[in-house]
Structure 1
Amino acid sequence: MPGPAATPFDTDHRLPERVDVVVIGGGIIGTSAALELSERGHSVLLCEKGQIGGEQSSRNWGWVRIARRDPREIPLMVEAIRLWEGLDARLGRKTGYAKCGILFSCASERALAQNESWTRHVQAHQIESRIIRGAELDAVLPGHRMKLKGALYTPEDGRAEPQWAAPAIAEGARAAGAVVITGCAVRSLDLEAGRVAGVVTEKGRVKCGAVLLAGGAWSRLFAGNAGTWLPQLKVQNTVMRTTAIEGPAASLWADGFSLRKRADGGYTVASGSENIADLVPDSFRLARAFLPAFAAEWRSLRFRLSGRWREEAGQARRWRPDQITPFENCRILDPAPTPRMLRRSWSALCRAFPAFAQADVVQSWAGMIDVTPDAIPVISEVQDVPGFFIATGFSGHGFGIGPGAGRLAADLVAGDAPVADPSAFRLSRFTDGSRVRPDSGF
């Protein structure tokens, strides 16, 4: 079964000779950065090797949440929420954004205390996030049969439609003057005296003064060919959608499943606590860098040896600008969903909400999530290559924060005052002796 179909996007065809900025990658981060830069008067070329929003940007849960984020992401997520609130009007197109509230269920007093402790991180931002119990919890989750001590409830959190959002933002960027070309892989940077002077695409060269790499799961491969070490791995999440059914308006993370109401009346459902980590050569190359992450997240990871080992072992890691690249050999990452995870999450959902037994599962898919050792993104200039910027490694949290991350990336590229402190997202944290590890905020 193929992955979800993003809104079709009609490509531009003429490759410009020169622009101010080339953005690599047409997911929500790349399109959001292109929108910001174009609206500020910079000439922008966005190149996408496949389709706009064709990979994880259309395959995620559709959550727009500040709840339970790493504290280092919170200021940027505050800005992202502000941008989501005005995005449809700004674009003149629908993204499906709506505030619905998100809950993290708590089956024990310990979990309740941890979640309540997390709320201190948003108090200074006037974001309401609190513990609810009893009748109030039952009112927010009508029809549930879970035995809970309570839940962390954040009414400001919301949802949007992943299949709509990145294409809508790309259209907005084009309306603001950007050139957006799909089916066009960027093969390499074009450097002069050690700094960015342009890019080489499969369709020709383009001169520019800055390049933003927002390539998601492909970013490490591109950066490596450019001589930049980027510690990033991939994990796979499996998702399904249902037919329309009456159910909770709020989104929910619970033991064994997550759910989010869709604009079509159905639900997006996934496991809230299981991801596949395929063993590949990079798993061993980066094992030391990722040890703190593995220690923190081992309960949610299912390691396996699959055909991806052979596939990635056979991928070129270095190439010349005149050679066919891995990006042209695989236009869209479309991994198969994991049936066992689908069965488990569906069973857990139906136990929690018996009414869902009346719904049908009409589609399932999987997506590759780009992860870093500390589970927060890289949004940074590459110090050794002036003019080269990276925005990647969003670790499963990229959709909701996308507009804010795109704005911060645009600030860095343009040399404008950053909307949030970018120091936590600097690439050099992996090499400057910093303590690199996930932070749950508890």
Structure 2
Amino acid sequence: MTKLLEKIATPDILPAKVTVVIIGGGIVGVSAALAMAEKNIDVVLIEKGHIACEQSSRNLGWIRKTSRHAHDVPLAAAADKMWVNMAERVGEDVGYRQNGIMFLTRSDEQMSIYDDWLNSVADLQLDSRLMSAKDIDVLVPGGKGDWKGGIYTPSDGRAEPAKAATAIAKAAQRKGVTIVQNCAVRTLLLEGGKVTGVATEKGEIRCEQVLLCGGAWSRRFLGNLGVSLPTLPLVCSVLRTTPMEGPSDIAVGGPDFSFRKHDDGGYIVTQRGGLDAHVTPDHLLIGMRYLEQLKTQRSFLRIKFGKEFFKQLGMAKTWDASTITPFEKYRINDPAANPILNNEALTNLRQAWPVFEQAQIAEAWAGILEVTPDSNPVIERIDQIPGLTIATGFSGHGFGTGPAAGQLAADLVLEEEPIVDPTPYRFSRL
């Protein structure tokens, strides 16, 4: 994880009873906790590691509507509004800057895809627009990329993952949320098939509702309960440069690199055309459901078979409340950054914008994305287990929509009017 991530102090004592237990201290979990606390709901949030220790602090920090599925844009737009007011809401800066996001291409085919996307969201009143090579040179000067064009949304933005979830968690604490770290929830307590509490490694908590925001761990947690959530892992490697003069504050995504300004004056860079796909036993079980994605994304995947397969194979699939679980044995998913991908990213970026020849790497890290077959999350009550709601499977897109996704999850838990139509996020579609 980034060494800039701020950690917070939390108590070790569990409350005996609350209204809602939230499992998972990423940005969606802490956003849901804050939303509920603002309505005076008694909430405890339990995190097996520490707040934002996995993908919520390891992502690129982009907050975008651009190129999202049309039915996913309303959630992203709702999140935009929440990010604008986030510093005031939580009482500290989270690094939010509405500097825009631009995607670039060298191909007519991709330009046609951008145009098709604009047509698909025409009734949503976005400020997205197609860009010519000349437009790109004006907004992001100094490039040598020979671009065909691109697409640009000025109202998109960024925030700092190392700050945001932690700041939201602290605000939730001030509103009365109890956060307990280094405590794994082992399973649910059920009576007559309905949720009555959770069993943790430190004891039981009685509750009326549970919200699972477990990220890449959600599939394993649900599998122990007999619920099959189709998600597979991908690993994204990222680097941060030392402070430097760059071409723009606009975040830019090329076909084989991306960059965006960091608050410290450096840049966050990744190989946008490369993700590590470590084969796991789950690929053998549900991999066929990803054939459509594989057709379009095969060139992006660096498929690997090795120790991760056997690590996953050795993890327990079922357990009870008295058993030490994988969540305790592996508190934090901390994959090593792939230096090959990071070096590719810098090489490709330097060819497109020579100013990055001066870039020096301050740190590198990697994070695990939990990907659904259609790359959209699941945010829904689980009919099979009354009292359980899940918000997971964000497929690498969760940070930007996190505040609104947390609000939507809270709305569903509390059976209130949802912030957006939840239909696109139903479990049944999978």
Same fold (TM over 0.5): yes
Tell which deviates more after alignment, 347-356 or 124-133: 124-133
Instruction: Could you tell me which runs of 5 or more consecutive residues in structure 1 were left unpaired when the two chains were aligned.
Output: 431-442
Question: Which residue of structure 2 lines up, in the alignment, with residue 377 of structure 1?
Answer: 377
Answer yes or no: is 1:257 the counterpart of 2:285: no
- Number of equivalenced pairs: 429
Matches of 1:176 and 1:243, distance apart in 2:
36
Answer yes or no: is 1:59 the counterpart of 2:58: yes
Matches of 2:289 and 2:388, distance apart in 1:
23
Is the contact made by 2:106 and 2:149 (CA closer than 8 Å) also made in structure 1? Answer: yes
Q: 1:411 to 1:116 in 2, by over 3 A?
A: same
Question: Which residue of structure 1 lines up, in the alignment, with residue 48 of structure 2?
Answer: 49
Tell which deviates more after alignment, 142-151 or 95-104: 142-151
Is the contact made by 2:100 and 2:157 (CA closer than 8 Å) also made in structure 1? Answer: yes
Question: Which residue of structure 2 lines up, in the alignment, with residue 398 of structure 1?
Answer: 398
Matches of 1:11 and 1:298, distance apart in 2:
43
Q: Report Cα offsets for 1:217-260 as digits up to 9, x if no partner.
A: 10001011122111111100100010111111100110210101
Matches of 2:35 and 2:192, distance apart in 1:
29
SS at match of 2:93: coil
SS at match of 1:99: coil
- % same residue: 43
Matches of 1:181 and 1:386, distance apart in 2:
24
Is the contact made by 2:94 and 2:167 (CA closer than 8 Å) also made in structure 1? Answer: yes
SS at match of 2:407: helix
Is the contact made by 1:411 and 1:419 (CA closer than 8 Å) also made in structure 2? Answer: yes
Matches of 2:120 and 2:206, distance apart in 1:
43
Residue 147 of structure 1: CA displacement? 0.4
Question: Which residue of structure 1 lines up, in the alignment, with residue 153 of structure 2?
Answer: 154
Give the superposed CA RMSD. Answer: 1.1
Matches of 1:355 and 1:38, distance apart in 2:
47
Matches of 2:267 and 2:225, distance apart in 1:
41
- Which runs of structure 1 show a deviation greater than 3 angstroms over 4 or more consecutive aligned residues? 2-5
Residue 340 of structure 1: CA displacement? 1.2
Question: Which residue of structure 2 lines up, in the alignment, with residue 96 of structure 1?
Answer: 95
TM-score, normalized by length of structure 1?
0.95
Matches of 1:122 and 1:10, distance apart in 2:
43
Question: Which residue of structure 1 lines up, in the alignment, with residue 296 of structure 2?
Answer: 296
Is the contact made by 1:4 and 1:365 (CA closer than 8 Å) also made in structure 2? Answer: no
Matches of 1:317 and 1:171, distance apart in 2:
34
Residue 370 of structure 1: CA displacement? 0.7
Question: Which residue of structure 2 lines up, in the alignment, with residue 435 of structure 1?
Answer: none
Is the contact made by 2:21 and 2:43 (CA closer than 8 Å) also made in structure 1? Answer: yes
SS at match of 1:295: helix
SS at match of 1:98: coil
SS at match of 1:286: helix
Residue 89 of structure 1: CA displacement? 0.2
Residue 116 of structure 1: CA displacement? 2.0
Residue 3 of structure 1: CA displacement? 4.3
Q: Tell me the amino acid that sits aligned with residue 96 of structure 1.
A: G
Q: Tell me the amino acid that sits aligned with residue 262 of structure 1.
A: H
Residue 135 of structure 1: CA displacement? 3.5
Matches of 2:90 and 2:288, distance apart in 1:
43
Is the contact made by 1:260 and 1:268 (CA closer than 8 Å) also made in structure 2? Answer: yes
Question: Which residue of structure 2 lines up, in the alignment, with residue 344 of structure 1?
Answer: 344
Instruction: Could you tell me which runs of 5 or more consecutive residues in structure 2 were left unpaired when the two chains were aligned.
Output: none
Q: Report Cα offsets for 1:296-345 as digits up to 9, x if no partner.
A: 32221121102101110000011110111111111111101112111111
Q: Report Cα offsets for 1:201-223 as digits up to 9, x if no partner.
A: 11110011111110101000101
Question: Which residue of structure 1 lines up, in the alignment, with residue 316 of structure 2?
Answer: 316
Question: Which residue of structure 1 lines up, in the alignment, with residue 387 of structure 2?
Answer: 387
Is the contact made by 1:239 and 1:342 (CA closer than 8 Å) also made in structure 2? Answer: yes
Residue 292 of structure 1: CA displacement? 2.3
